[in-house]
Structure 1
């Protein structure tokens, strides 16, 4: 399958190129990033987004800090402050810290992290495909654009379609940032997978009519009991799927599990500008000055999960034991 990756690195020129995901699908525009400060701003502005892709980008942000002669502690601080919810960002930066002052070691670690993302997501896609069939619904964007690899939830969908297991995909538009409409639909169209875009509030209608056989979503951070944060709207889908007896899966690399959190109550929830709710692509859709609220993520309790798709296979309840076993914490 042809993949449109969210970034590329020009080592000779010292430039990390980001595909501006704010401009997709209308335009494919590449943004040059030369410093950690520019990388932090690009992550904050969602030029690059998706938990695994943010982690890889942050790692290369530290490589750029070495190349540009930036203060490494300040570079690390700026990158950590760029977006608070996805744990992959912090995991990547923790891996880079032992290489402070060592450009070669820093570059090798960043490249290793990127390779691991690809290898991990190949395994996630293969495992996830085994539990998907028929018509599948997904939320937000979890393909190569979100990860830099093969994708997590969308990777599993693509592999299941390749195997003839999935015949059709329902794509939530994912208001207010429209990652489903702009990015997931774009990736599915390029891959030739039959799919239909729906407004987020149509999912329950389709489930009621028996037109959804499974739901699979990505994860930005998971606690040790299986509670997880994902794009706003995920919790509502989980409740609907539970009510209708539809299998509900979360797909993630184990690096997205935060071993410091016993439950999802401690996951920080990013709040983004209200203008992203009151405007679409700069065009107002609400009365001028009308207040809006934009939590970018919500937390889904583990009791709504059928299973957790990881690179080590499908984990089933009790999730606290399964996750500790998978992470080697016993």
Structure 2
């Protein structure tokens, strides 16, 4: 089944990157709904909600996934006939994928205006939005070179340096632990994010918070590129975003033996406090972290009563 394969691909990180995950989930819901042979609206909604739960359970930290699922499923759950639900599913899936792709281009245009001429930039992990910002600034003649980290243990930095090199940008590839050593040489840091909380904290690939701390110490701007669907609504109520822990084999390999009693910890993400974030660039504009709750309320349209009934967050965000 396509849905099961998609869920497995997301869980195993064959599909990775918050935006790609969200678009893939929206497309998988659309394809699954098209394949269903249901006679009643109730049966269709039940099947779609089960599919949505399967997808939402694959990666607990990236809120782009449940936000995408919520957006698509609102049309299904709000329908009064089977035909209306099927049509709404297709319409909202197409709309989400289209708007998600367009958001990256808008973010790149806005962020490029924040980058000074002849800039040296550091980036961490493989963020579609962050890389788009760097490439757009390069197209405007504003980028001298980039420092990109390797991003242990999954080495997503190799993807980043390939994309930047293909765009003709001079790249320095550094180990994660060298970020502080090279920070004085850069003008600013740009990363993506998997989630932005209501207080403006940023949840991103492990190691991001250390780089942000180094940037703060060196008085270098730390800029986050984030589509608005990466903002985490339930954090308004004080709920924390769960940090995903990955298999130990990613760290030590399958053949290496550890000494007795040694425990491997492999968190995939960490949390960067808003005090270390200078600017969040979204498709609707650039603003300070303190503006995050207004994005959730005014742009995403969440109200607290909806939190009590939303299945995607209720099932997978701690209640």
Please give the range of the TM-score, normalised by the shorter of the 2 chains: 0.7 to 0.9
Partner of residue 144 from structure 2, selected from 167, 173, 183 = 167
SS at the partner of 2:235? Answer: coil
TM-score, scaled relative to structure 1: 0.79
Equivalent residue number for residue 202 of structure 2: 228
Q: Which runs of 5+ in 2 are unaligned?
A: 38-46, 304-319
Q: In 1, distance between residues paired with 2:171 and 2:52? A: 40
Residue correspondence of structure 1 range 189-268 to structure 2 within 5 A: 189-207=165-183, 210-262=184-236, 266-268=240-242
Instruction: Using the TM superposition, name which of 250-259 and 105-114 deviates more.
Output: 105-114
Structure holding more helix per residue? 2
Change (3 A) 1:251 1:263: farther
Match of residue 300 from structure 1: 272
For residues 248 and 322 of structure 1, do their structure 2 counterparts lie closer, same or farther at Cα, with a shift above 3 Å needed? farther
Provide the aligned C-alpha RMSD in A: 2.4
Rg larger for: 2
TM-score (norm 2): 0.82
CA distance in 2, matches of 1:204, 1:292: 25
For 1:66, the equivalent position in structure 2 comes to: 33
With over 3 angstroms needed to count, the CA separation of the structure-2 counterparts of 1:317 and 1:109, relative to structure 1, is closer
Alignment-derived partner of residue 9 in structure 2: 42
Could you tell me whether the CA contact under 8 Å between 2:29 and 2:51 is conserved in 1? yes
- 100-109 or 299-308, larger mean C-alpha shift: 100-109
Aligned residues: 283
1:294 to partner: Cα distance? 0.7
- Trace 1:149-160 onto structure 2 (pairs within 5 A): 152-160=129-137
Between 1:246-255 and 1:314-323, the stretch displaced more is 314-323
The runs of 5 or more residues in structure 1 that have no matched partner are 1-33, 144-151
1:136 aligns to what?
A: 121
Q: Which has the higher contact order (CA 8 A, sep 6+)?
A: 2
What are the Cα deviations for residues 167-190 of structure 1, in whole angstroms up to 9, with x where unaligned?
111111111111112x11121122
Structure 2 contact 236–293 (Cα < 8 Å) conserved? no
Assess, with a 3 A threshold, how the Cα gap between structure 1 residues 309 and 286 changes in structure 2: closer, same or farther.
farther
The structure that is strand-richer by fraction is 1
Pair 1:125-2:108 in alignment: yes
Q: How far does residue 326 in structure 1 lie from its aligned partner after superposition?
A: 6.3
